[in-house]
Amino acid sequence: MGRGLCCALLFVFSVAATVPVSAGVVLNEFVADPAQDWSPSDGDLLYDSRDDEWVEIMNDGTEPVDITGWRLRDAVSDSSWRYEFSGILGPGEYAVVYGNESYAWEEASGYARQGLSLNNGGDTITLVEAGLAVVADQISYESHEVQDDRSLGRVPDGGGEWYVFDGLNPMSPSATGITPSPGLPNVGSPVEPVDWGRIKALYR
């Protein structure tokens, strides 16, 4: 592998999903620190730090799944419910919830109205199955992984590793160049992890 290509290797952050993932409905991508208008459902073309956060889930299995009653929560407490899904999610299909939709659900359901409330300084997102007793998936992240318009997403979709998608706000070292893609496949070609030490060693 040439030195120039090595320097362009994608940097994999140590974002640990605290729940083992098997085929089924999982967290797939999210933006915690939006810097533009992401939401197509808020009725405007204006940026809003609350309304334009989003979380995408995906059915990585081979059978349709009824996600009615499945909920999202953040790390504040087990009762910090942010949104409840409904309907059937077919194999390979995505469902995206935006901050304004979360806010509307909280208001209608009698919960504190905060939207998705994804902390820019780091947080944990949890997907819980209907009945609220089984955690389907969970991801924790740090502040540098979600700066303006950076998302975290799986490659390949569903069961892949988590990568920073920094096509709109490049990382250093080793930007991935992948662009956030709510409701669409995560497109990119991540390779082995690399850090500054490994890059410098190529030029010694």
Interval 6-53: pLDDT, tens: 333 333 333 443 344 446 999 999 999 999 999 999 989 999 999 999
pLDDT tens figures, 43-86: 899 999 999 999 999 999 999 999 999 999 987 666 689 999 99
> Which of 110, 19, 25 is closest to 68 using CA atoms?
25
Tokens of 103: 């806010």
Per the structure, how many domains does the chain have? 1
Task: Tell me how far apart the alpha carbons of residues 157 and 181 are, in angstroms, rounded to a whole number.
Answer: 11
pTM of the model: 0.83
190 or 1, higher pLDDT: 190
Find where tokens 């120039």 sit.
Answer: 4
pLDDT band for position 172 (50/70/90)? confident
Q: What secondary structure, in 3-state letters, does the chain show?
A: CCHHHHHCCCCCCCCCCCCCCCCCEEEEEEECCCCCCCCCCCCCCCCCCCCCCEEEEEECCCCCEECCCCEEECCCCCCCEEEECCCEECCCCEEEEEHHHHHHHHHHHCCCCCCCCCCCCEEEEEEECCCCCCEEEEEEEEHHHHCCCCEEEEECCCCCEEEEECCCCCCCCCCCCCCCCCCCCCCCCCCCCCCHHHHHHCCC
pLDDT at residue 74, as a whole number: 85
- Look up the CATH number of the domain holding residue 61: 2.60.40.1260
pLDDT at residue 17, as a whole number: 38
**Domain range for 126:** 3-201
Q: How far is CA 200 from the centre of its chain?
A: 31
Task: Tell me how far apart the alpha carbons of residues 51 and 65 are, in angstroms, rounded to a whole number.
Answer: 27
